[in-house]
């Protein structure tokens, strides 16, 4: 029977992995520890390994894995920047990722946040917490169907956001280096970001982070937005100059924002910091801003997405073990 050893395994993943293994007649062994020189021996005798590596991976481990008869690493995430892909390949290790998992989850969360911004959810909640049940313009909402929405990056997630929003009847502008002709009935693609932000009431970022897109939404572009714009970033923190966004929320034109990612989130996300000071004034400013809805990179986090991550990573591991190939290989 094939045996796959899983590192960094959480309890919720373990339940899903066990169900997968039973169905495939594969034996799984686990640890919640990361793969290091000290924990390498746990994979002794296994045919393959599955990781959720967060920190940079020790490159000396590639050769040692190969010597143990292990020829792959199945990473349980889309990002693989923690690995030296060339060094892995040179040592006979194929690395696989999970390129996409439940884009619907992120798209649904985006629609939720758009509606919460439009209906001033922060203000309603604060009033109710104070037992202030009055109505006034501070909690008077707006109708989504009357708004023009700009979807910046109309890929797996952005296209679903556009499709979901079309049910509300709002015009949708799109910006993408590769416009999809099949979305032409849904998305009015525009060539210029400056023109798009000047027309949109709501701007939602769904781009990958690349050299071209890093800090794409800078002070200059934000200043060209329409007064009262609602701004959402569910993609990557560094697509946006966070300081410039805060200034533009305080001085306009941006009225409110929903951020699921933050450029300094690396050391913060997934940590329980209750009762502790956070030594990042920019992050503190986001957390305390009355017109920002912040969430700690949870847009994807649904039962479906976690199951897809675990199952696709294990499928890729098994495929490499059995055939030497996987469509999710990132260094073949």
- Closest listed residue to residue 151, CA positions, set 121, 189, 180, 116: 189
Q: What residues contact 175, with CB distance under 8 A and at least 6 apart?
A: 150, 151, 152, 153, 154, 189, 190, 193, 196
Interaction of residue 196 with ligand NAD, rule CB under 6 A:
no
The residue written with tokens 């781009």 in the block is 207
Q: Which long-range contacts (CB under 8 A, 24 or more apart) does 117-124 make?
A: 117/202, 117/230, 117/232, 117/256, 117/257, 117/258, 117/293, 118/142, 118/143, 118/144, 118/147, 118/230, 121/293, 122/290, 122/291, 122/293
Q: Which of 191, 212, 251, 277 binds ligand NAD (CB under 6 A)?
A: 212
- Closest listed residue to residue 51, CA positions, set 89, 3, 97, 111: 97
Residues 213-232 that bind ligand NAD (CB under 6 A): 213
**Minimum CB distance to ligand NAD smaller for 20 or for 175:** 175
Interaction of residue 279 with ligand NAD, rule CB under 6 A:
no
Closest approach of ligand NAD to the CB of residue 31, in Å: 26
Interaction of residue 315 with ligand NAD, rule CB under 6 A:
no
Interaction of residue 299 with ligand NAD, rule CB under 6 A:
yes
**Minimum CB distance to ligand NAD smaller for 206 or for 289:** 206
Spatial distance between the Cα atoms of 164 and 205, rounded to a whole number of angstroms: 15
Q: Which two structure tokens, joined as six digits, stand for 179?
A: 């416009």
Q: Which of 1, 41, 137, 177 binds ligand NAD (CB under 6 A)?
A: 177
Contact (Cβ atoms closer than 8 angstroms) between residue 234 and residue 206: yes
Interaction of residue 48 with ligand NAD, rule CB under 6 A:
no
Interaction of residue 88 with ligand NAD, rule CB under 6 A:
no
**Minimum CB distance to ligand NAD smaller for 86 or for 298:** 298
Closest approach of ligand NAD to the CB of residue 297, in Å: 5
Residues 140-159 that bind ligand NAD (CB under 6 A): 153-158
**Is 322 annotated in the active site?**
no
Interaction of residue 240 with ligand NAD, rule CB under 6 A:
no
**Minimum CB distance to ligand NAD smaller for 176 or for 308:** 176
- Closest listed residue to residue 50, CA positions, set 10, 86, 91, 101: 10
Interaction of residue 293 with ligand NAD, rule CB under 6 A:
no
Closest approach of ligand NAD to the CB of residue 82, in Å: 15
**Is 243 annotated in the active site?**
no
Q: CA 45, 46, 48, 52 torsion: positive or negative?
A: negative
Interaction of residue 297 with ligand NAD, rule CB under 6 A:
yes
Please identify, among the stretches 12-20, 80-88, 270-278, 292-300, the one whose residues bind ligand NAD according to the rule CB under 6 A. 292-300
What is the side-by-side strand order in the sheet with 72-75?
27-30, 3-6, 48-51, 72-75, 94-96
Spatial distance between the Cα atoms of 154 and 150, rounded to a whole number of angstroms: 10
Closest approach of ligand NAD to the CB of residue 274, in Å: 22
**Is 236 annotated in the active site?**
yes
Closest approach of ligand NAD to the CB of residue 89, in Å: 23
Query: Number of H helices and number of E strands within the chain?
Result: 11, 12
Interaction of residue 80 with ligand NAD, rule CB under 6 A:
no
Catalytic residue of the set 5, 76, 160, 236: 236
Q: What residues contact 87, with CB distance under 8 A and at least 6 apart?
A: 59, 62
* Contacting positions for ligand NAD (CB under 6 A): 100, 103, 106, 153-158, 175-178, 206-210, 212-213, 234-236, 260-261, 297, 299-300
The residues annotated with a catalytic role in the active site are 236, 265, 297
């Amino acid at each position: 029977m094939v045996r796959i050893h899983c590192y960094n395994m959480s309890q919720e993943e373990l339940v899903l992995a066990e169900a997968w293994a039973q169905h495939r007649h594969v034996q799984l062994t686990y640890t919640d520890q990361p793969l290091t020189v000290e924990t390498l021996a746990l994979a002794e005798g296994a045919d393959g390994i599955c990781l959720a590596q967060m920190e940079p991976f020790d490159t000396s481990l590639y050769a040692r894995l190969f010597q143990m008869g292990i020829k792959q690493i199945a990473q349980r995430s889309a990002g693989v920047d923690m690995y030296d892909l060339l060094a892995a390949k040179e040592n006979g290790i194929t690395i696989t990722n999970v390129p996409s998992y439940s884009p619907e989850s992120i798209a649904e969360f985006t629609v939720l946040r758009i509606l919460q911004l439009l209906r001033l959810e922060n203000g309603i909640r604060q009033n109710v917490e104070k037992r202030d049940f009055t109505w006034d313009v501070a909690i008077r909402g707006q109708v989504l169907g009357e708004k023009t929405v700009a979807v910046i990056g109309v890929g797996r997630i952005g296209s679903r956001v556009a499709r979901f929003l079309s049910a509300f009847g709002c015009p949708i502008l799109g910006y993408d280096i590769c416009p999809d002709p099949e979305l032409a009935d849904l998305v009015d693609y525009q060539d210029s970001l400056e023109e798009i932000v000047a027309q949109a009431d709501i701007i939602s970022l769904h781009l990958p982070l690349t050299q071209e897109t890093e800090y794409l939404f800078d002070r200059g572009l934000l200043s060209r937005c329409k007064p009262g714009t609602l701004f959402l970033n569910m993609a990557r923190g560094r697509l946006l100059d966070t300081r410039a966004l805060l200034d533009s929320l305080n001085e306009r034109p941006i009225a409110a924002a929903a951020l699921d990612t933050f450029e300094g989130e690396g050391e913060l996300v997934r940590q329980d910091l209750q009762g502790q000071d956070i030594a990042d004034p920019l992050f503190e400013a986001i957390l305390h801003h009355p017109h920002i809805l912040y969430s700690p990179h949870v847009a994807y986090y649904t039962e479906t997405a976690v199951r897809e991550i675990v199952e696709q990573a294990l499928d890729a591991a098994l495929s490499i073990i059995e055939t030497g190939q996987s469509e999710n290989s990132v260094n073949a």
